[in-house]
Chains A and B, each alone.
Chain A
Amino acid sequence: MSHDPAYNFAYLDENTKRMIRRALLKAVAIPGHQVPFGAREMPLPYGWGTGGIQVTAAVLGPRDVLKVIDQGADDTTNAVSIRRFFNRVAGVGTTTRTAEATVIQTRHRIPEQALTEAQILVYQVPMPEPLFRLEPRLAETRRMHALADYGLMHVKLYEDIARHGHISTAYSYPVMVGGRYLMSPSPIPAFDNPKMHRMPALQLFGAGREKRIYAVPPYTEVRSLDFEDHPFRPHRADAHCALCGSRSSYLDEVVTDDRGGRMFVCSDTDYCETRQASRQEDAA
């Protein structure tokens, strides 16, 4: 497969790629630290994954196989259009199978299937600053990161417990990376946070509008913030998938009629389809 010759390979010009690549290397060297970069305008609006796309474009080679998921699904608008974009401008092969992909760009989920050392996971990040709801001044949050002064976040979690009896953050649950930097895991469900801990795959994060890149190297400690007497507990709907029967995957609730009917299905479409197919084989 070849790419559209009207564009440079993977869309970005080489100067931009070099700038992003230098930022990526520094991000890997300082796990969890947000490295500023000169995010470019991309042929889709901010909020549609421009940061993730720029990271993917800087990393991608012609032999890579790309998978793109949006909330776990391969077949949503965002995922389909990004896959087609890279198929056109880089000529790369694409897949929906987690195991076959070498680069996985994701919005708001980590695949259910454990990732390997041969894979890179690229997150689309809307807001890289974990402290932004507590401290709106970027100059101030930069200083807090410099001093590893994260008391404010602990106070916020404490107030959650005081008000609700438990920590009410269900997604974008803050993590400490390598025992040093407080990091936003992007708005993945807290259910996915434990998968980041000592993951064999390299994890890269791109925020286009906010112009930040950060990373978690393989086998790096990623701890969800908690308290001794209120340990971190990932939340999962107490149900099984209506399509594949999984009791361990992360579930989406789907409203099926206007009389209160609802069903739960896996958010990871590839995981669900693989399980359905193997069930059918067993039945046959």
Chain B
Amino acid sequence: MMRPGFTDPVLDAQSCFRAVLEAMSRPGRVQRLAAPLQPPAPLAPATAAVLLTLVDAETPLWLDAGDEAAEWVRFHCGCPIATTPAEAAFVLATGTPPDIAALPQGTDEAPEAGATLVWQAAALEAGQGWRLSGPGIEHEHRLRVGGAPEGFRAAWAAQRGRYPRGVDIILCAGEAIAALPRTTRIEEG
């Protein structure tokens, strides 16, 4: 049986959006979601809420979460499913995230066409781990992303050379959300 989406699609989407906006504006700060969701495995509540809030018929989605999750997202968001990450506006990674250089980067004239990677991590903890700096950060924020793959920091640093083209990341774990816009610099803690 199809599991339900938001209880209140209007206000739940609003509060989730504000959490994502806050996360994107202050990279590395972890936001907590209030909306209770029971999405199909392997989707975490935060991941499901972000998809319900931002994805729709205008945004092709690529995901690695399996048929049941894909069916749930298609039913509730009505989005086309992209066959490769390179064709997607939103890329959902519940396992190891794909190489960010393989995702749409946008163009110098339209950098907003760069993809948004929704990355479901094993854990998100503020105050430890990576040292983040850049717009949105007064001095320094710290963020630990559980299960970040080996080459991620190098790939992220390489992306800076392409700015303003690039990929933005929304991180989800359980009911927690954080974000890494393309302007954020990451240094090892």
Contact = CB atoms under 8 A, between A and B. Distances in A.
Nearest to A21: B17
A219 B25 CA distance: 10
Contact residue range for chain A? 35 or more
Interface in A160-204: 178, 180-181, 198, 200, 202
A202 B21 contact: yes
Interface in A57-88: 58-62
Contacts of A62: 11
Contacts of A26: 112, 114, 168
B49 to A, nearest CB: 13
Contact of A9 (B11, B26, B109): B11
A28 to B, nearest CB: 5
Nearest to B52: A18
B182 A30 contact: yes
A30 B112 contact: yes
Given A18-B54, A219-B138, A28 B9 contact: no
Interface string B16-60: 011011001110000000000000000000000000011010110
Contacts of A31: 135, 183
A61 B14 contact: yes
B11 A61 contact: yes
Nearest to A220: B135
Contacts of B80: none
A199 B14 CA distance: 24
B136 interface: yes
Nearest to A31: B135
A24 B17 CA distance: 10
B111 A33 contact: yes
A9 B17 CA distance: 15
A256 interface: no
A284 interface: no
Given A14-B13, A61-B14, A220-B136, A30 B164 contact: yes
Contact of B164 (A8, A142, A180): A180
Contact of B136 (A8, A14, A218): A218
B108 A9 contact: no
B183 A29 contact: yes
A1 to B, nearest CB: 14
Nearest to A204: B21
Contact residue range for chain B? 35 or more
Nearest to B133: A219
Contact of A22 (B10, B59, B109, B111): B59
A147 interface: yes
B18 A219 contact: no
A240 interface: no
Contacts of A259: none
B137 interface: yes
Contact of A59 (B21, B137, B138): B21
Interface in A111-163: 117, 142-143, 145-147
Tell which of B11, B53, B112, B168 has the most Cβ of chain A within 10 Å: B112
B112 A146 contact: no
Contacts of B54: 18, 21-22, 25
A23 interface: yes
B182 A8 contact: no
B29 to A, nearest CB: 10
Nearest to B184: A29
Interface string B130-170: 00000111100000000000000000000000011000100
A145 B11 CA distance: 37
A263 interface: no
Given A21-B17, A29-B182, 12 more contacts: A17-B13, A23-B112, A24-B21, A26-B114, A27-B112, A30-B183, A142-B110, A202-B25, A218-B25, A218-B138, A219-B138, A220-B135
Pairs of residues from A and B, 8 with the lowest C-beta to C-beta distance, nearest first: A29-B181, A146-B108, A26-B112, A217-B136, A220-B135, A217-B135, A146-B109, A29-B168
Interface of A: 8-10, 14-15, 17-19, 21-31, 33, 35-36, 58-62, 117, 142-143, 145-147, 178, 180-181, 198, 200, 202, 217-221
